[in-house]
Structure 1
Amino acid sequence: MIIALNQFRSLHLAPRYPFDWFNTDGLAGVLDEVDMVASWRHVSAEEFEAEKRRLIKQEIEFIDNPEFHVPGAGQLLFDVAVDLDRETTPHHRPGEGLPTHLDRLCSANLLKPEQEVMLFGRMNFLLCMASKCRDSLPFTKTAVQQVDRIHALLALAAWHRDRIIEANLRLVFSIVKKFVNPQITFDDLLADGILALIRAVEKFDYSRGFRFSTYATQVVRRNSYQVVVQRQADDARTLDGLDEAGIAEAGVPRESFLSEQRWHQLRGQLSVLLDSLDRREKLIIRARFSIGAHSKVQTLQAIAGRLGISKERVRQIESRAIAKLQEMAAIADFHELGSV
């Protein structure tokens, strides 16, 4: 079910956690964008209990700060609006060195130092409040309002996180393109680079006074290097497997087993199929089927933890993505693996 924006704004926590700052100027524009949240008031008792158990088990990670626990912390953090200009910065020329669909991802302006501190502070404060709210979640049916509040806090935290990610996507592009080689594509590196950026946002301690770009550069660069090294190791294991299978001893050259040209063709076809998926579907398929930089098949629970969604939601997205791929493959009439 859905509750409207005015109901969302009227949410207030129990006396222990008063959220009078929900109506501050600093959240006015954000609430206009995060205009609806899921409500659990009219679902079945079984569905509600399952969601409550999921929230209780869910680990809500954040970087704590003493400022979050002083009286009036919310009012101080949300006293003014985050002045984010979503228009393309004059220093960035759309289409410069990137396909149009990728260039659009880089249209957000870079953050000023004060904007960066504000976004990180608010994001972690919201997660801190969500964690407190979750820890006090009662084991009774009166927890419905509390569950709605937790979802509202997590949605607001995600909005602030996404603004940080948008402003730093160009950094990821500039780093991962330097690691592209014949064995690993730009798309593979980009997908993992964005995941590394998300992890960096979640782990960054803004109170230390460093710019996020300094920290993120190290994280994304190290991740890209590890992806390339892992791919090289995987290729080496594949060649060793061919030797163990007796292909070389049978007098069949490795090159004739599947030509390099055919490998590139198949990779290109797979890339075309994956491009038909949205970003989340693509990440889940890569992780579930060990495609690209993922050296091991990941469980639904592991992916759910990384994306901040339920295991069942991951399963649904995976099924939808597989159906899309099957339809696209049938339309494209792709060749069998062994054809040359």
Structure 2
Amino acid sequence: MASATVTSTGSPESGNTTTQKIRAREPAWVRCDELAEANQEIESLVRNYDGLSNEELKTAIKRRLREELGFISNPQFSDPQLGKEIFDTPLELAPRKAELGIAAVRRSGIDMPIHLGRLCEAPLLKPEQERMLFQRMNYLLQQAEVHRSQLNPQRPSRVRLELIDRFIALAEWHRDRIVEANLRLVFSIVKKFVNPNNNFDDLLSDGIVALIRAVEKFDFDRGFRFSTYATQVIRRNSYRTVVVKQQERQKTVGGLQDLDLDLTDEGRESAISEKRWHELRSRLSVMLDDLDRREKLIIRARFSLGAHRKVHTLQSLANRLGVSKERVRQLERRAMEKLRAMAGRANLAELEPQ
């Protein structure tokens, strides 16, 4: 049997066919020195489609076609020479510094694990570096979209799919550089919203999500710094988080008052442990499940619990259930009596602060 033709590297030519096709279709700038570090880091994220059958490849293409690529377009992106131009100029990002993270933790004034400082070790970006990162990120996503628009499930292309994956992974690498350089901004904003009902960890997580969303929506060509835009997005998001939690607490407190539980102002102030409130809400949920279908609906609708975003009137519930308004009132009274009895048996007092 004739042996397979072997290249100078010792690998069968057939095994290199897809790679050779990908390299032939890639723009020259994709493998430039400026992107060497990024390409090395993302290599494991770029899927190899060689092992897929034709049907599996068609499924992968259909999935990719359903996934819209969001990016901020720019008239410059139509220039065929732009890729070479923007990746010829070095970014010259400064290395991460542990002392920057430690300083961020100390300035926060929050008692938190020192390891969180690692999130803030990236130096701030210079204006030109910031602009270049946003330009590169959006240009890479635009290139991915160009190739995505040419996908055809009836003529599946492994080469094009892998190229799209590489463009997206490179875009995310640039996005991550912007995010990590602005994490200290998130720290400085969310710490102002910390209170007994809103802990730093939750606000920080929400703030980072808001920061990523801001990066994806920022138009670098408007002429102002990203931090100006991101500050408003993160602050608005933190405020919304605090308000929503406060509304949830008010609903819970209102429900407890209707169960004739003694919640003085002093008790409310001290019963602010996040863990205890979750336990309390969990027990109330179990109690509601012990009601019949109509009683459960009435209680949740009357006290704006669960999926109900507003308090329903007796008449609106009567119309929905096909009974009289007075009958709804009777069912509500019966349900409340059941809940009071269950509250006594459940010994909710043990959830009071020690």
Normalising by the residue count of structure 2, what TM-score does the alignment of the two structures yield?
A: 0.67
1:117 aligns to what?
131
The answer to whether the 8 A contact 1:176-1:221 is kept is yes
User: Taking structure 1 as reference, are residues 10 and 30 closer, same or farther at Cα in structure 2, changes over 3 Å only?
Assistant: farther
2:77 pairs, out of 68, 71, 79, with 68
Deviates more, 1:44-53 or 1:150-159: 44-53
Separation (CA, whole Å) in 2 of partners of 1:197 and 1:150: 25
Find the aligned partners of 1:296 and 1:106 in 2 and give their Cα distance. Answer: 38
- How big is each residue's C-alpha offset from its partner over 1:157-196, in whole Å with a ceiling of 9 and x where there is no partner? 0000000000000000100000011111111111111111
Residues 101 and 117 of structure 2 are in contact (CA less than 8 Å); yes or no, is this contact kept in structure 1?
A: no
Q: More displaced, 25-34 or 90-99?
A: 90-99
2:209 is matched with 195
CA contact (8 A) 1:27 1:81 kept: no
The letter of the residue matching 1:49 is K
Measure the CA separation in 1 of the matches of 2:123 and 2:347.
44
Give unpaired runs (5+ residues) of structure 1: 1-6, 271-294, 298-335
Give, in angstroms, the shift of residue 120 of structure 1: 0.4
How many angstroms does 1:262 deviate by? 6.2
1:29 aligned to which of 27, 33, 37: 37
Is this contact kept in 1: 2:120–2:181, CA < 8 A? yes
Task: Report how far residue 35 of structure 1 moved.
Answer: 2.8
Give the distance between the partners of 1:93 and 1:239, measured in 2 at CA: 40
- 3-state SS, counterpart of residue 52 of structure 2: coil
Structure 1 residues 82 and 44: CA distance shift in structure 2, 3 A: same
- 8 Å CA contact 1:197–1:216 kept in 2: the answer is yes
Moved more, 199-208 or 21-30: 21-30
Measured on the aligned residues, the alpha-carbon RMSD in Å equals 3.1
Counterpart contact for 1:172–1:190, Cα < 8 Å:
yes
Retained in 2: the 8 A contact 1:28–1:81? no
**Alignment CA distance shift 1:8-1:230 (3 Å):** farther
Match of 1:264 among 268, 273, 276: 273
1:247 aligns with 2:255: no
User: Structure 1: how far apart are the matches of 2:347 and 2:223?
Assistant: 53
Equivalent in the alignment of 2:60? 51
Q: Note the C-alpha offset of 1:140.
A: 3.0
Contact 1:126 1:157 (8 Å CA) reproduced: yes
Residues 141-150 or 89-98, more deviating: 89-98
Q: Kindly indicate which of the two structures has a greater share of residues assigned to helix.
A: 2
In 2, are the aligned partners of 1:25 and 1:81 still within 8 Å (CA)? Answer: no
- 1:223 maps to what in 2? 237
CA contact (8 A) 1:62 1:128 kept: yes
**Structure 1 residue 268, shift from structure 2 partner:** 10
For 2:254 and 2:196, locate their aligned partners in 1 and report how far apart those are by CA, in whole Å: 20
Contact 1:38 1:151 (8 Å CA) reproduced: yes
What CA distance in whole angstroms lies between the structure 2 residues aligned with 1:145 and 1:62? 23
Structure 1 stretches of at least 4 aligned residues deviating more than 4 Å after TM superposition: 7-10, 89-95, 258-263, 267-270, 336-340
Determine whether 1:152 maps to 2:166.
Answer: yes
Task: For 1:1-340, list aligned pairs within 5 A.
Answer: 11-12=22-23, 14=25, 19-36=27-44, 37-88=46-97, 93-94=102-103, 95-96=105-106, 97=108, 99-243=113-257, 246-248=258-260, 252-254=261-263, 264=273, 266=275, 339-340=350-351
C-alpha displacement at 1:9, in angstroms? 9.6
Deviation at 1:33, TM superposition (A): 2.1
Q: Greater CA deviation, 144-153 or 40-49? A: 40-49
* Structure 2 counterpart of 1:123, one-letter code: M
Code of the residue aligned with 1:65 in structure 2: it is: N
What is the CA deviation profile of residues 17-36 of structure 1, one whole-angstrom value per residue up to 9, with x for unaligned ones? Answer: x6121122321222122233
Q: Distance in 1 between matches of 2:268 and 2:98?
A: 45
In 1: Cα distance, 2:21 partner to 2:91 partner: 21
Q: How many residues align?
A: 264
Cα distance in structure 2, aligned partners of 1:128 and 1:158: 13
Give the SS at the match of 1:34.
Answer: helix
Partner of 1:320: none
Question: Which residues of structure 2 form unaligned runs of 5+?
Answer: 1-17, 280-304, 308-345
Which amino acid counterpart does residue 22 of structure 2 have in structure 1? L
Q: Which amino acid aligns with 2:248?
A: D
Q: How many angstroms apart in 2 are the aligned matches of 1:188 and 1:83? A: 34
TM-score between both structures, scaled by the size of structure 1: 0.69
Post-superposition Cα deviations, 1:266-297, rounded to whole Å, max 9, x if no partner, equal 26999xxxxxxxxxxxxxxxxxxxxxxxx999
Helix, strand or coil: the match of 2:88?
Answer: coil
User: What SS class does the counterpart of residue 11 from structure 1 fall into?
Assistant: helix
Give distance in 1, aligned partners of 2:99 and 2:118.
14
- Percent identity, aligned pairs only, is 44
Farther-moved stretch of structure 1 (260-269 vs 214-223): 260-269
Equivalent position amino acid for 1:233 in 2: Q
Between the aligned partners of 1:194 and 1:69, the Cα distance in structure 2 is 32
